[in-house]
Amino acid sequence: MRLFPKLIFFLMFTALAWTSQTKPGDFIPKGYREVERYKGDLNGDGRDDLVLIIKRIDKRNIVTDFAGQKVDRNRRGIIILFKSRNGYRLAARNTDCFSSENEEGGIYFPPELWIEIKKGKLYIEYLHGRYGYWQYVFRYHHSHFELIGYDASINHGPVVEKFISINFLTKKKLIRINTNKNAQGGDERFIERWSCIKWGQLITLSEIKDFDKLDWKFQKLFYEDLVESVGKKKELDR
């Protein structure tokens, strides 16, 4: 008879554990909402993990733009959840690292944020139409998502004018500059330059405060080599 109370306790504990399994929405902080969701294996266990793009809810950031339209300027963030046996567990969270999709785009629309999961890596991409794109590559290592790569293409319509690729593991960067001023797209002629960069510890996704400022930092690495590369090309043409 003593086994009966233990059996009841075991069944109650099992039922409680089953009902308390974590759902994706449980990880979204108060004052935020989910706006996008992506799936893919990010830690090599064969399960589909989740990447949630979230957005702050704050009426103070609903403003009137230059066209007189009400737009939501609340910032966005990212939550990464690893799939577990009974639900999900938190892998990374950064609640305000992305600007609003309704930021001013100048004479063009603002860049479009896009997420991809390929071969276990996380790609955070910004697509800017005829002006090109830039992307950040993260891998899960040492219990963090570490930034291991950055690529940017500066375009003029279909023509790639400049391209930069940085590998933070090897601490090397590649600069490609189109020298064909009459290129129509696909017929560019590039000069290439490999160089080393001075870089310390790898940046983690959770510590990035603003991806816009991070992009400017990497663009500076590009323009440092731009003047030198063009100067060398002129010397070779003499």
Query: Sign of the C-alpha dihedral, residues 56, 59, 61, 62?
Result: positive
The answer to whether the beta carbons of residues 164 and 221 sit under 8 Å apart is: yes
The answer to whether the beta carbons of residues 166 and 176 sit under 8 Å apart is: no
| pLDDT 10s digits, 203-237 | 999 999 999 988 777 777 666 666 555 555 554 44
How far is the C-alpha of 22 from the C-alpha of 79, rounded, in Å? 14
Phi-psi sector, 32: left (phi>0), alpha (psi -120 to 50), beta: beta
Q: Which residues contact 190 (CB under 8 A, 6 or more apart)?
A: 163, 176, 177, 178, 179
Residue with tokens 């816009």: 212
Token duo for residue 3: 């086994």
What is the average per-residue pLDDT within 105-130?
90
Q: What are phi and psi of 221, to 5 degrees?
A: -60, -35
How far is the C-alpha of 216 from the C-alpha of 212, rounded, in Å? 7
Which run of H or of E encompasses 110? none
Q: For all residues of the chain together, what is the average pLDDT?
A: 86
| pLDDT 10s digits, 158-170 | 999 999 999 999 9
The answer to whether the beta carbons of residues 42 and 49 sit under 8 Å apart is: yes
pLDDT at site 19? 39
How far is the C-alpha of 230 from the C-alpha of 123, rounded, in Å? 30
CB burial string 167-184: b at 16+ within 10 A, e below: bbeeeebebbbbeeeebe
| pLDDT 10s digits, 31-73 | 999 999 999 999 999 999 999 999 999 999 999 988 888 999 9
Poorest-confidence range of 19-33, 108-122, 178-192, 220-234? 220-234
Q: Which residues contact 136 (CB under 8 A, 6 or more apart)?
A: 123, 124, 125, 147, 149, 150, 211, 214
